[in-house]
Amino acid sequence: MPDAESLPSDLAAAHAMILAERAARIEAEALAAHAAAVSSGTEALIARLKLEIEKLRRELYGSRSERKARLLEQMELQLEDLEADAVEDELSAERAASRSQTVRSFERRRPSRKPFPEHLPRERVVIAAPESCPCCGSTRLSKLGENVTETLEVIPRRWKVIQTVREKFSCRQCETITQPPAPFHVTPRGFAGPNLLAMVLFEKFGQHQPLSRQSERYAREGVELSLSTLADQVGACAAVLRPLHALIEEHVLSAERLHGDDTTVPILAKGKTDTGRAWVYVRDDRPFGGTSPPAALFHASRDRSGDHPERHLKQFTGILQADAYAGYNRLYLVDRKPGPVMEALCWSHARRKFFVLADIAANARRGKTAPPISPIAFEAVRRIDILFDIERDINGLPAQQRLAARQERSAPLVAELEEWMRGERARLSRHAPAAQAIDYMLKRWNGFTRFLQDGRVCLTNNAAERALRGLALGRKSWLFAGSDRGADRAAIMYTLIATAKLNDVDPQAWLADVLARIADTPQGRLADLLPWNWKAQSARLAA
């Protein structure tokens, strides 16, 4: 603070000092805001680059563990907050720089934006040009060109009522009255169009939005659709679409190899919920160069009895890739009719048991209570990861080429792994965590080494786990299935939506078209409505 002697004695000098102090304060605030904006922008840039690096590592090195997926989700959430903070600091720096005479305005470096898709409609808004020259006032203006600025905009959802008019005619000769037939509706005396029905179905089963929440949102938009009304539509649509589910089931069970898995689904019971199960069987021949379209088949049950997979796969005789669930064991019996199923176990499940014991990052978070890192588990993970690297190199090749590469590169590594695990197991107590992970593999070694005998077998069961991921996330939204029939209905819709996604088809657009056409499609032509055939037809029409 200046001394009393240094303060000006006249009013003009005091006024000048105040202005100088104010300018210095404004400049300091602008510099501080500029520095804060630079810091926030740098933090956001670092977070974005870290996220991109992790995603590239995941693509290159194939780490598909649950921990890696959770890490990416956490990084994305962190990036959201950092980007928002950076924008706020950038705007604050701009406002502060506008009041300063010396500090430059700050502009944050952003990633280059991709051009807007060509299929989006363009609305041209022309700003009126001046009628005269602002310099000399002349009206003799000649157009040199134009600059176009594109802005992405969305039109809020519009509701409309379609009035279908059916005119009546009377014959003047025989007085017979004729009239065109009424349009098809999924429900008797229905009122909902196929696009509305597809939206309701996809939001319920694809986006996991219960009908009660949908009803509330529609009411806010001025359209009253009660919960019971929407439920009527869902039940009717599931009944109409059931034949497509049967066709997909036939296609899936005719595969040479299937992925199988299950997850919990709470099903409402008297005063409680039972822990039911959703079963999925995925056909995906693309890893071994197959040309058959991929598909997913869902079933639901109130328990996890082995009777369910036995019933689901009653006619299946190929390779089943699954975990070591005992309920599948009856499928592997030699005297099974029509024939035994070949067991192929998942190396991701086996790796996960070792990875838990070798997760350095998780142990660091646990602190002093963390168990020591197991060097045996660490070495097992390292050896298994080499097999995963080989699989990434041969993914998509024909089965014979995959088998030849495995015999040359993977078989020696698997033999060394078995010998190493048996040697380590002999020195461990049966209660040691690493011993339990080793026993899980050695007791089922034939199932784990099946991929060395057949090029069609994958190293993991990740295809089935990916199909169940959406359902596992949705449990937090819909909490439970209301009944056994409700669970079965959900299984039908999950089958249709998951199969559409596997074939790179927009599920909502496909459902809307199917619901509009299925009544006029002969029974023998229903296969034309399956996602892969529908996609091919759409491509031909577009061409």
Tally of CB atoms within 10 A around 357: 23
Residue 211 in 3-state DSSP? helix
Domain ranges of the chain: 15-99, 245-484
Q: What is the pTM of this model?
A: 0.75
List CB contacts of 362: < 8 A, sequence separation 6 or more: 67, 356, 370
User: Can you tell me the distance from the alpha carbon of 41 to that of 86, in angstroms, rounded to the nearest whole number?
Assistant: 5
User: Can you tell me the distance from the alpha carbon of 429 to that of 486, in angstroms, rounded to the nearest whole number?
Assistant: 48
User: Can you tell me the distance from the alpha carbon of 233 to that of 210, in angstroms, rounded to the nearest whole number?
Assistant: 14
HSE toward the beta carbon, residue 150, CA cutoff 13 A: 10
Phi, psi of 327 (to 5 degrees): -65, -15
Six token digits for residue 176: 């017979």
User: Can you tell me the distance from the alpha carbon of 68 to that of 89, in angstroms, rounded to the nearest whole number?
Assistant: 31
User: Can you tell me the distance from the alpha carbon of 453 to that of 257, in angstroms, rounded to the nearest whole number?
Assistant: 14
State the amino acid at position 455 in one-letter form: G
Query: Is the CB of residue 90 less than 8 Å from the CB of residue 33?
Result: no
Tokens 């995925």 belong to 282
What secondary structure, in 3-state letters, does 455-467 show?
A: CCCCCCCHHHHHH
How would DSSP label each residue in 307-338?
HHHHHHTTT--SEEEE---GGGGGGG-TT-SS
Query: Is the CB of residue 524 less than 8 Å from the CB of residue 302?
Result: no
Six token digits for residue 246: 């049967």
Residue 53 in 3-state DSSP? helix
- DSSP class of 519: G
| pLDDT tens per residue across all 543 residues of the chain | 455 557 777 788 878 888 888 878 888 877 787 777 777 777 777 777 777 777 766 665 555 555 556 666 666 666 666 666 666 677 777 777 777 767 666 666 655 667 778 888 888 888 888 888 888 888 888 888 888 878 777 777 788 888 888 888 888 888 888 888 877 777 666 778 889 999 999 998 888 888 888 888 888 888 888 887 888 788 888 888 999 999 999 999 999 999 999 888 877 766 667 778 889 999 999 998 888 999 999 998 888 888 999 999 998 999 999 988 888 999 999 888 888 999 999 999 899 888 888 776 565 566 566 566 778 888 999 999 999 999 999 998 999 999 999 999 999 999 999 999 999 999 888 888 889 999 999 999 999 999 999 999 999 999 998 888 877 776 666 555 666 777 888 899 999 999 999 999 999 999 999 998 888 888 889 999 999 998 888 777 766
List CB contacts of 432: < 8 A, sequence separation 6 or more: none
User: Can you tell me the distance from the alpha carbon of 472 to that of 481, in angstroms, rounded to the nearest whole number?
Assistant: 13
